A and B are shown apart, each in its own frame.
Chain A
């Protein structure tokens, strides 16, 4: 029986530190493990005893790439516990800062982290030497997202302005109007991004995913809605744990989430798109069709196109909010703590982010539960790899198979920094 080992020690362009191990026995993939070995960070434990108003600032520190997601999910959870609903202009401003994070994160991932795979380059610096205009476009998009986060959050990484109940300070109309011109450019650039990504070559892989995302009756989901799937899940956010469960596996310090009695599921841009195509603005639907996407997409390598469609949505949505913005009467709604449990679920750029807190009438946190998107996608990544390697065992050279395995992991834009710093890929063939 032939034996071979394919090994990549340092897989770049993912956020985090971990390893991937694939064992092949004969012509069968025997084992796939996404190893995550960073020590647990204990955020949920050290949230206990802290004041409920601290949750957005503390949990934002979990991630430098999607801090707004942590701020929004924790704020929503605390507001639910306090019996407060944030609506009107404050709600719109929350969607706006979230659009900034999506534009920044999707722009970064599409152009700087994922595109090199499709173009056959080691990294974005190498891409920039041959395609400077493409990389310039990505950097400009990313900067507009960053600037929007600075305008609303005070700074782009770990913003300091969002709080439970709203914001510490809200912008004037004039401050937001300054973004009309750059966002108008960004919308056009996003449409170009969809067309450009649609012209890339995609490895063949289709899976029968259970796509899990928020769904809202009036809008493409960012901060609110019900948790739904294309296989029948449809629950309120507070019932998340009735449907989903986490388990510890020996090879990962991150828990693996799964649908009870079923198994792995997909969170992130493709899941959102598949569950909410009808809620995208017409401009995004039209360009998606033009790109040949259809209303659903089950090839994870095409997630780069879906991200580009979501860029279109985020720019369009940001412009809509700015054009209709009237400053609220106050920057936040007062929240009075009580003995209660609150849940919040919002759509981070890379997928659903669930928070649940129990607080007391002094406002102290008694328990905390956080389920980040990359934990939810770990099983799906392993399942993708299993099928992809099996399909291509005898069709690809060792180098190409290794390269595309790395690419398959990057399909998820994994933010493993919530649990690790780099990814080692190790494929062993017996």
Chain B
């Protein structure tokens, strides 16, 4: 890792007090526990801050809860630089704050995107104040954590391979 320039950053989004919405936070924290060398962030005040957090990363993985109406625990994965995230995947309760798709569009316009950007969204169903994260969502999170670990290791291997090649 270059000093002050994280190679990989995992950002979890959500509200810790609103049931399944906390799943992004939980995933980023668990990735941090399993891979302490990885820079993780649990919670971002608004989408514009994503630009500051991901601009300097070679690979950024963002995890949030989806509310598109599919079954709880359904996992969505997007290449944030190449795929368009469907409208309505994430809820937006504030017109002052930017969602992940808004932050990506803003980042594209301003040239402030990471080298690679992966977005994971796990469908939630329960968002009551103080509710626990539902079992299907927690099960899906286990799969997402495993996928993130694999993606990071693959990224690290590619980097190591590139460094080992003669100039």
Contact = CB atoms under 8 A, between A and B. Distances in A.
B83 interface: no
Contacts of A108: 96
B45 A132 contact: no
A13 B111 CA distance: 23
B149 interface: no
A421 interface: yes
A422 B95 contact: yes
B102 A125 contact: yes
Contact of A15 (B96, B106, B110): B96
A143 B52 contact: yes
Contact of B110 (A65, A135, A142, A421): A135
Contact of A135 (B46, B52, B94, B109): B109
A265 to B, nearest CB: 25
B45 A128 contact: no
Contacts of B110: 128, 132, 135-136, 139
Contacts of A421: 93-95
Contacts of B48: 112, 139, 142-143
A6 interface: no
A77 interface: no
A64 B46 CA distance: 10
Nearest to A143: B52
A65 B106 CA distance: 20
Among B45, B93, B111, chain A packs the most CB atoms within 10 A around the CB of B45
Contacts of A12: 95
A129 interface: yes
A368 interface: no
A367 interface: no
B95 A128 contact: no
Given A125-B102, A139-B48, A15 B109 contact: no
B109 A132 contact: yes
B106 A14 contact: no
A15 B94 contact: yes
Nearest to B104: A125
Interface residues of B, number: 17
Contacts of B95: 12-15, 421-422
Contacts of B105: 125
B106 A157 contact: no
A142 to B, nearest CB: 7
Interface in B93-121: 93-97, 102, 105-106, 109-111
B146 interface: no
Nearest to A12: B95
A112 B96 CA distance: 8
Contacts of B96: 13, 15, 64-65, 108, 113, 417
B18 to A, nearest CB: 13
A132 B113 CA distance: 14
A266 interface: no
Contacts of B109: 125, 128-129, 132, 135
Nearest to B111: A132
Interface string A398-430: 000000000000000000010001100000000
B71 interface: no
Contacts of A113: 96
B142 to A, nearest CB: 29
Contacts of A157: 45-46
A139 B50 CA distance: 11
A143 B45 CA distance: 11
B33 to A, nearest CB: 22
Contacts of A143: 48-49, 52
A238 to B, nearest CB: 33
Contacts of B93: 421
A224 interface: no
Interface string A121-139: 0001100110010011001
Interface of B: 45-46, 48-49, 51-52, 93-97, 102, 105-106, 109-111
9 contacts: A15-B96, A65-B96, A113-B96, A125-B106, A128-B106, A128-B110, A136-B110, A146-B45, A417-B96
Question: Would you list the 6 A-B pairs with minimal beta carbon distance, nearest first?
Answer: A128-B109, A129-B109, A125-B105, A157-B45, A15-B96, A12-B95
